[in-house]
Amino acid sequence: MTATKSKDGMVSEAQSIVSVVYNPDHSGSFAINKNDANAPVWARLKLAIRSKNFDHKLTETSIKLSWSDMLSIIRELGTKSTQRALNFRFKPDEEAAQRIKQFSEQLKSARKQRKELAEVIPREEIPERLKALGFVKRELKPFQIRDLSHLLSLANGANFSVPGAGKTTVTFALHILTKKPGQHLLVVAPKAATQAWLDVVNECMDPDAPNDGAEPFVVLSGDEAGNHKALNSGATRFIISYDLMIRQQSVISAHLATTPTHLVLDESHRMKAGWNSQRGAFLLGSATLPVRRDILSGTPMPQAASDIESQLDFLWPGHGLGFEVVAGRSPREVLGNLYVRTTKKELGLPKPHRHYIDVSMDDGQLALYSIVRNEFLRDFAKKVGSGMGEAQLLKARRSVMRLLQLSINPVLALSAMANDDIEVKSAIAEQVLEEGHSAKMREVADHARRLAAEGQKSVIWTIFTDTIHSFSSSLADLNPVYIHGGVPSGLATEPGTREQKLKRFHEDDECFVLIANPAAAGEGISLHTVCHNALYADRSYVSTHYLQSIDRIHRLGLPPDQETNIYVYRSKAPAQIGSIDMSVTRRLAEKIRNMQKLLEDPDLHELALDEEEALDPIDYDIQLQDIVDLISELEGKGSDDFLDEV
């Protein structure tokens, strides 16, 4: 404690001292004298940390947490008025004081940049500056120069441009213009995006570019010892997958802490879970180490506005931008000038045509779907309002996935239910097995055959791996290829790799269909040169998967007269039962609308409008009593006996 004197010389109540320490492991600690353990400021510190769900270690007189979270608390409680009100002051050690000073300068700069940007390099000079550095093979488009100029004005940047707008090229040009001697570039990306980063050097740089400008990327794919050696080999450009980064956290964090590094997150929405995921926790905990951070994502908030929280906290650690979004402030208002986005309209792409095709369920499928739907309502309808625990939520999610699977592939859903020891009346099971592929699957397959007969290729999207294999078997006459999470990456010359399958789809005139899972193939591939038809056999609630899968065939490079068609197949259900496919439509519309408000993108507005105006797939010819009678018939019961069970 420290006693203080007022201007009139009177001694005031002793002041508490909160020590601030920057730890060697790049975390931070607050510490207080044992006699002050009950002081108001100590209670307030603990409350602030717990209310924000910060991961921390607490003792009677110390609190340890990540340095970025330390900065957030210091920003919140470090004002003179707060320190005066709580009668304390922060006392940082030398290292902490230096880092807090840097943070304070960055905070002031970012607040100013949110409202107003100062041009670092005149926009008209950017092409010549790049050429002088050997960036001569690719000429940036006007919108790319605009985005690059904007990002150069920011200490850290977010590029939320649509796929195909050249985010990789713009970010590489940013690296070329901002790189300082001894600085490294580390890109964290999905495996599917690796090739784009490997190609960008050859596609942009003169082989004789000055300052080793044509240096290729090194893919960090080995064990910890191998990657440590690679990082210290003298190379300066690296790329690593999100999954391997998590398995080798100590190697990556040590490198970030000891080497000036420009860190880029490609498809940054992959860290949206923040502290609740390994990748998010590692990136947030390491956010203060790189000299510059950039994030790239065409879909920064795929599920809700809160998805962007962790990305903003990574980009601007301690600034509290993510907390502002979670507190209800508009993400667009929070971000201000801190991001760039090129829209499809700016790319000059012709608008895609979206079609919604509703298909009635077969009898056995409808009976099984109705039973599972009723069980879902009985189990969860009343619990949603009162809240569900983790176990209940997991069970509810499994039920939702079962309904989605029943909508497209009831035979496989029936098999999954058997594996889960769920009893299904034998007559209904026999009816489902007799029907085989659902009416929706049959119509999608017939559609692909009609397109093939016209010489057109198509991509069929489905979220279920087993359904991918079912389509592959039934469409054997079209020589299909498929991609899902179990298909390995590799060389295009290696049989069975996703690259080999994509090469065949592009080059084999007899290969008319690609069947894929949006979660596995929605990123990092381009199909627009050979395919202009996408058939959605089903869709999930994740807007990223839908939007990015569309962008595989609708992206920069299409001729102005090229027609792109998006066909969304949905299972039609009676009004009293409801179609889960319509639920997906409504939720996707809402999520796309929220993203449109953030990004001010007219294409997203039109897409959301199409989803919102899509008619509900209701089959008015079937009444509730018809369903009751159908199930009773298949179960061998009388209708009156079954009424009480519905």
Domains and CATH numbers, the chain: 16-110 (3.30.780), 117-342 (3.40.50.10810), 353-360+437-635 (3.40.50.300)
pLDDT surpassing 60 at residue 622: no
Name the residue among 56, 32, 115, 609 with its Cα closest to residue 351: 609
pTM: 0.81
Give the lowest-confidence range in 94-103, 146-155, 380-389, 537-546.
380-389
Report the b/e string of 605-615 with b at 16+ CB within 10 A: ebbbebbeebe
pLDDT surpassing 80 at residue 47: yes
Report the pLDDT averaged over residues 181-194: 93
Q: Which residue has the higher pLDDT, 525 or 358?
A: 358
Report the pLDDT averaged over residues 56-62: 93
**What pLDDT is stored for residue 376 in this prediction?**
79
pLDDT surpassing 50 at residue 399: yes
**Alpha carbon separation from 293 to 282, 314, 315, 392, 618 (Å, rounded):** 14, 8, 6, 39, 49
Length of the chain: 646
Q: Which residue has the higher pLDDT, 154 or 524?
A: 154
Return mean pLDDT, the chain: 87
In this prediction, residue 623 has a pLDDT band, given cuts at 50, 70 and 90, of low
Report the pLDDT averaged over residues 279-294: 93
Residue ranges of the alpha helices (H) in 116-236? 126-132, 142-152, 167-178, 194-204, 224-231
Spatial distance between the Cα atoms of 318 and 285, rounded to a whole number of angstroms: 11
* pLDDT tens digits for range 12-32: 567 899 999 999 888 999 999
**What pLDDT is stored for residue 632 in this prediction?**
61
**What pLDDT is stored for residue 450 in this prediction?**
97
Residue ranges of the alpha helices (H) in 454-529? 465-474, 498-507, 518-521
Spatial distance between the Cα atoms of 398 and 420, rounded to a whole number of angstroms: 11
In this prediction, residue 1 has a pLDDT band, given cuts at 50, 70 and 90, of low
Q: Rounded to the nearest 10 degrees, how much is the dihedral formed by the CA atoms of 358, 363, 368, 373? A: 50
Q: State the burial class of residue 420 (Cβ atoms within 10 Å of its Cβ: 0-12, 13-18, 19+).
A: exposed
pLDDT surpassing 90 at residue 515: yes
**What pLDDT is stored for residue 639 in this prediction?**
42
**What pLDDT is stored for residue 645 in this prediction?**
42
